Amino acid sequence: MYIHFSLSHQGTRATSCVVAPTPASAPAPASTPPPLNVNVLNPHGAKDAVSRAAQLAMQFATKGGAAKAMPGEPGAEQTKHYEAELEINDFPQHSRWKVTHRDTVNMIGETTGAALITKGVYVPPGKQAPEGERKIYLLIEGPTELSVKHAKQALKQVLEETTEKVMRRDAPAGPGKYSVV
């Protein structure tokens, strides 16, 4: 494996490369890359950066970073993931927007570790979804069943709160301050 990089600091530039061993199953490279140049001009840590890059390249090569098996192939790691769905089509527009907004998605993702994906199409009330389509829903995926459960609870809470706000905002004001006698 051949990795080429450049470092610059306060106008001084150093270029170097790292040669890491390739896995035994990989064919040998046709040409030998230039050797590692640690005699850089920058005295402020460039040598450390070059040696750190060399260490990372060695770790990458020994772990087989580029040569990992694809899912479904022999040798591929099988990791479990959990998922759940939450239909949001029938909630008010502002509630749907709130749970699919970037800030809400990021907050729930950071606190629970689950990923949220919006899928489906909007279907107006009283209509049927087009063939082959589903009403708007959130697909919640996570590494554990508990993370998915917590994400779904948080989403339901946001939906309930925003729906309640929308209902209060759109409700009639009730009796006015003045009355006609």
Q: What is the pLDDT of residues 47-77, one digit of tens each?
A: 566 667 667 666 665 554 444 434 454 544 5
User: Strand 82-87 and strand 137-142: pairing?
Assistant: antiparallel
Whether residue 83 contacts residue 105, with contact meaning beta carbons closer than 8 Å, is answered with: no
Within-domain flag for 103: yes
Q: What is the CATH number of the domain that holds 148?
A: 3.30.1370.10
**Percentage of the chain modeled with pLDDT above 90:** 46
- In the prediction, which pLDDT does 146 show? 96
At CA 34, angle to CA 32 and CA 38, rounded to 5?
A: 145
For residues 98 and 57, membership in a common domain is answered with no
For residues 40 and 96, membership in a common domain is answered with no
What is the C-alpha R_g of the chain?
Answer: 28
Mean pLDDT of 110-139: 94
- In the prediction, which pLDDT does 50 show? 63
Domain count across the chain: 2
* Domain span at 130: 82-170
For residues 47 and 95, membership in a common domain is answered with no
Please tell me whether the overall predicted TM-score, pTM, comes out greater than 0.85 for this model: no
Whether residue 108 contacts residue 155, with contact meaning beta carbons closer than 8 Å, is answered with: yes
